[in-house]
Chains A and B, each alone.
Chain A
Amino acid sequence: MTDADEAGPGAQAARATASPAQAHAAVAAAFRDEAGHLTASLVRSLGDFDLAEESLQEAVVQALEHWPAEGIPARPGAWLLTVARRRALNRLSRDARYAAKLAELAREPAPEPAPEPDNRLQLVFTCCHPALRREWQVALTLRAVFGFTTGEIARAFVASEDAVAQRIVRAKRKIATAGIPYRMPGPDELPGRLPEVLAVLYLLFNEGHLATSGSGSRRDLSQDALWLTGLLCRLLPAEPEALGLLALMRLHLARADARFTDTGDLVRLADQDRSLWDHDEIAEAVTLIERAAAMRRPGPYQVEAAIAACHAEAPSFESTDWMQVVALYDLLLEMEPSPVVRLNRALAIWRVAGAQAALRELDQLAAELDGYHIYHAARGELLSDMGRDEQARAARLQAHDLTHNQAERSLLRQRLVP
């Protein structure tokens, strides 16, 4: 459980909260609701993505300084917008080239985070434009859509603040000089553009989902990613892949409580206490998959969600419908061939046709996945199942040395002890 979870979506109401962690979580929830709207509205009135994003960022930093002590304002969005606009006006007034723009802005009536059509979508599609590299897309989305500070992004991705700041500067420079438009892609472009957005969201989700020991001040990326995916589904109700990703995330979260022991150790799927899973949540996620499937445009996220559902709906590990899992992986491989998917398929083959057959599949991936810890961990499990203990130990050792995630390391360490 994270602070953001406890605070919930209605966190704006939490005035004068006691602990700094709670205050921080309330601030985070307020940003999640407001930041995207505010950036979008600033881009529209300023006509300049860079200036809009920069000004909001300054307002966010001010809010983080003031809100924890003074309480969250009744209308956090209006507060942020006022500060951001003041910052933008200050910047413009220092720059003679923008005299006309400045006069125009000063004439505008008092700001109001207006209930205009939701233009956060434009913002998301701009931040996740395929002309930007993935790490820029990620950093920019976090700042412009979620109102993350550069420091928060750096902590989430274990990068230096300088590196993150560089990514954002470069991304914004490219948006300006290369003429990346601030608009929603048309219907014929959407099939090419949506996967880019979904990939960023899934990456954020996984980054949050894998992280275990976040300090109190670290925002829960998976909750942010879940929220934006939900928003995307509401705004693009005819896109089955967005629904598929939402279902996939919810299926992961529904089982999150069983993934870690009280001491923060990772628990393997086979060993998880399935009574800890949220079965209502699983059922709801499954209805999302069905809704997506009814649109008859299958895609990788829908298939991945269906695989997750196979696991989530099985009463026990042994009773999982492994044949179905293998069939779904085959489908996924047709859609997007990837060595990691083949690795997962091999693990399902293990349950259907035994360790030897699975190992044969795995061996074909040696060249591509040699640097991937899960590959070696999987080999360790298969070799151990076949009684080849020495080799199993070597593989697990290699997996251990390749992973940086603490929870995964500790699980692999346990598996090294006979």
Chain B
Amino acid sequence: MKYILLFCGTREGSGPASSPEDVRRAYAGVGDWLTRNSSRIGSIHQLQPPDTATTVLLEGQRRPVVKDGPFLEGKEVVGGYCEIDVADLDEALELAKTWPGRTQAVEIRPVVPHDLPAELDRP
């Protein structure tokens, strides 16, 4: 089953600002994690902060409207994501629990399989 791990945090982050050494260590940890789990991991991306986002509004507009900033306005932000292919949620959980990045939480979202659209799910 495919899942996306969403690496989540708040805009302010938590705890004291990190030293360059902390950052370096975190990247090294992520590198190890990727190597260790390479067979289960698809693409992985870190995102630039939300103030770099540009949003195209589609619904309720006569034509697409481009605006500065993110669509989701909450305090919480997604800082990156990773696609994984594992047997089930337990295996996804095991991967998420070992994620070494500097992230407050990891949200696990199952990916809709292409051959079975969601609306076919039996009632």
Q: Using a CB–CB distance below 8 Å, which chain A residues touch chain B?
A: 50, 95, 97, 129, 131, 173, 176-181, 183, 185, 189
Contact = CB atoms under 8 A, between A and B. Distances in A.
A97 B116 CA distance: 11
B121 A181 contact: no
Contacts of B93: 131
A189 B93 CA distance: 11
Contacts of B118: 177
Contact of B89 (A50, A95, A179): A179
Contacts of B110: 177-179
Interface in B67-123: 87-90, 92-94, 108, 110, 118, 120-122
Most chain B beta-carbon contacts within 10 A, residue among A95, A178, A183, A185: A178
Contact of A179 (B92, B120, B121): B92
A181 B122 contact: no
Contacts of A97: 120
Given A181-B89, A189-B90, A176 B121 contact: yes
Interface residues of B, number: 15
Nearest to B91: A181
Most chain A beta-carbon contacts within 10 A, residue among B89, B93, B108, B121: B89
B122 A180 contact: no
B1 interface: yes
A185 B122 CA distance: 28
Contacts of B120: 97
Nearest to B123: A169
Interface of B: 1, 3, 87-90, 92-94, 108, 110, 118, 120-122
B92 A177 contact: no
Closest 4 CB pairs of A and B: A181-B88, A179-B1, A179-B88, A179-B89
A183 B90 CA distance: 10
Contacts of B94: 189
Contact of A95 (B3, B87, B108, B122): B122
A131 B89 contact: yes
A138 to B, nearest CB: 20
Nearest to A50: B122
B121 A180 contact: no
A181 B87 CA distance: 8
A147 to B, nearest CB: 22
A179 B118 CA distance: 14
Most chain A beta-carbon contacts within 10 A, residue among B87, B110, B121, B122: B122
A181 B118 CA distance: 19
B95 to A, nearest CB: 13
A131 B90 CA distance: 9
Contacts of A50: 122
A213 B110 CA distance: 45
Given A95-B122, A178-B110, 7 more contacts: A50-B122, A173-B121, A177-B110, A179-B92, A180-B88, A180-B89, A181-B90
B16 to A, nearest CB: 25
Nearest to A172: B122
Contacts of A180: 88-90
